[in-house]
């Protein structure tokens, strides 16, 4: 899952709110955190950003093409928000508490798990 912070900056760049230079200046001090796990989605997104910046620098990709690439990256890596709520079920034969883990994901179906503890 892509971090919300990284996703927001990529979105800002992809839709012209910030420049490629601003994206790079924001990202560089955070590289250690984003690359902490080389198998993470954040590391994949950072790699795509670095590739796009390099291709723009050598003239093989325009700024508009780089923005399109980042839009595609956003579509390929949806963000997932997790909300926890606890409630008591009214059952005459049980005093269980039930927690519902609700995971609405961008561009996917809503997933709901019910975890019951005695």
> What does the block give as tokens for 18?
């910030």
Torsion angle of the four alpha carbons 63, 64, 70, 72, in this order, in degrees rounded to the nearest 10: -150
pLDDT tens, position by position, 11-46: 999 999 999 999 999 999 999 988 888 788 899 999
Distance spanning both ends of the chain, measured CA to CA: 32
The alpha helices in the chain, defined as continuous H runs, are 4-14, 20-27, 31-34, 41-57, 63-76
In this structure, the strands spanning 111-117 and 97-103 are antiparallel
Which residues make Cβ contacts (< 8 Å) with residue 79, sequence separation at least 6? 1, 2, 4, 7, 105, 106
Lookup result for tokens 């956003």: 74
> What does the block give as tokens for 24?
């790079």
pLDDT tens, position by position, 47-61: 999 999 999 999 999
Question: Among residues of the chain, what percentage have pLDDT more than 70?
Answer: 65
pLDDT of residue 108: 42
Secondary structure letter of residue 78 according to DSSP: -
pLDDT of residue 107: 46
**Global confidence as pTM:** 0.64
């Amino acid at each position: 899952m892509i971090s919300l912070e990284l996703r927001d900056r990529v979105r800002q760049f992809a839709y012209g709110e910030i420049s490629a230079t601003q994206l790079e200046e924001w990202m560089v001090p955070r590289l250690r955190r984003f690359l902490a796990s080389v198998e993470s989605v954040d590391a994949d997104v950072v790699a795509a950003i670095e590739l796009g910046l390099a291709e723009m620098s050598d003239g093989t990709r325009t700024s508009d093409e780089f923005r399109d690439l980042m839009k595609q990256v956003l579509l390929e890596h949806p963000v997932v928000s997790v909300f926890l709520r606890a409630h008591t079920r009214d059952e005459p034969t049980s005093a269980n508490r039930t927690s519902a883990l609700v995971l609405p994901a961008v561009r996917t179906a809503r997933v709901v798990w019910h975890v019951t503890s005695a």
